[in-house]
Chain A
Amino acid sequence: MYRFAVIVFPGSNCDHDCYHAVKHVLGEGCEFVWHEEGDLSGFDAVIVPGGFSYGDYLRTGSIASLSPVMKAVADFASRGGPVIGICNGFQILVEAGLLPGALIRNSSLRFVCKWVDIRVERNDTPFTCNLEVGDVLRIPVAHGEGIYFTTVAGL
């Protein structure tokens, strides 16, 4: 059985969804890891869940990206461990510098909360290896800062 870590920050609110998906849908081991922890040894995968960590203060994900646990997440990733950031978790990984780019406020002047279609571009990742390139997934999104900004090289 694999062991998944779900990182929990003050303001995380999709942590229980992740726990449910791993534990009850996949049937794998799953534990919550509080953001003040500094040790991820013994885990096989790390999930940084969505929510509003630290109330989105300063910049979305910025304060959470400096939590003690993020040092452990960076070490885990540098050893080749799979890390996935969902929603605010993705924003945190970007702020932590583990992924390139940054997120800025929506140009639509709205909080966007809807279902979107996303296309699988690569299936050589641990997260998409059971999918075919070109598959379309229907995924819910909810964000105020949803414009991904990066250099052409970063893409």
Chain B
Amino acid sequence: MKEYKVKVEVKLKPVVLDPQGKSVLSALRNLGFGEVEDARIGKLIELTIKDGDAGNVEERVTEMCRKLLSNPVIENFDVKVEEKNV
């Protein structure tokens, strides 16, 4: 049986203000990391999926992103599928 580890990266679109990122940026600079130009915060969602083929898994996870994992109004997502034999 095949098992897939899927990483879903959800990020705010570049045009959307990211107050969390801004506050982390200023805290990093306060710590002396003045070289940091920008910081933006997203989410990493890891899914473990059994059965299916890789193409189908990617398609299904993309559907999950559209329906729940991301909000297409303000966020972009990226899906990476890793196959594991178990």
User: CA of A58 to CA of B12 in the docked complex: distance in angstroms?
Assistant: 13
Contacts of B67 in A (CB 8 A): 66
Residue of A nearest to B20 (CB): A105
Contact of A105 among B19, B69, B73 (CB under 8 A): B19
User: CA of A59 to CA of B73 in the docked complex: distance in angstroms?
Assistant: 12
Contact A62 B74 (CB under 8 A): no
Contact B23 A109 (CB under 8 A): yes
Contacts of A63 in B (CB 8 A): 68
8 A Cβ contacts from B19-57 to A: 19-20, 22-23
Contact B69 A58 (CB under 8 A): yes
Contact B20 A62 (CB under 8 A): no
Residues of chain B at the chain A interface (Cβ within 8 Å): 12, 16-20, 22-23, 67-69, 71, 73-74
Question: When A and B form their complex, what is the total count of cross-chain residue pairs whose Cβ atoms lie within 8 Å?
Answer: 35
Contacts of A107 in B (CB 8 A): 17, 19, 22
Task: Tell me the dominant secondary structure on chain A's binding face.
Answer: loop
Contact A102 B73 (CB under 8 A): yes
Residue of B nearest to A145 (CB): B19
| Given A102-B74, A149-B74; A58-B16 close (CB under 8 Å) | no
User: CA of A56 to CA of B22 in the docked complex: distance in angstroms?
Assistant: 21
Contact A104 B12 (CB under 8 A): yes
Contact A95 B71 (CB under 8 A): yes
Contact A149 B73 (CB under 8 A): yes
8 A Cβ contacts from A104-148 to B: 104-109, 147
Contact of B19 among A59, A66, A95, A106 (CB under 8 A): A106
- In the complex, how many angstroms separate the beta carbon of B42 from the nearest chain A beta carbon? 12
- In the complex, how many angstroms separate the beta carbon of B71 from the nearest chain A beta carbon? 5
Residue of B nearest to A154 (CB): B73
Contacts of B68 in A (CB 8 A): 58, 62-63, 66
Contact B73 A150 (CB under 8 A): yes
User: CA of A13 to CA of B74 in the docked complex: distance in angstroms?
Assistant: 27
Judge whether A85 is part of the interface by a CB distance below 8 angstroms.
Answer: no
Residue of B nearest to A101 (CB): B73
- In the complex, how many angstroms separate the beta carbon of A36 from the nearest chain B beta carbon? 18
Most buried by B among A109, A149, A150: A149
| Given A104-B17, A107-B17; A62-B23 close (CB under 8 Å) | no
User: CA of A62 to CA of B71 in the docked complex: distance in angstroms?
Assistant: 9
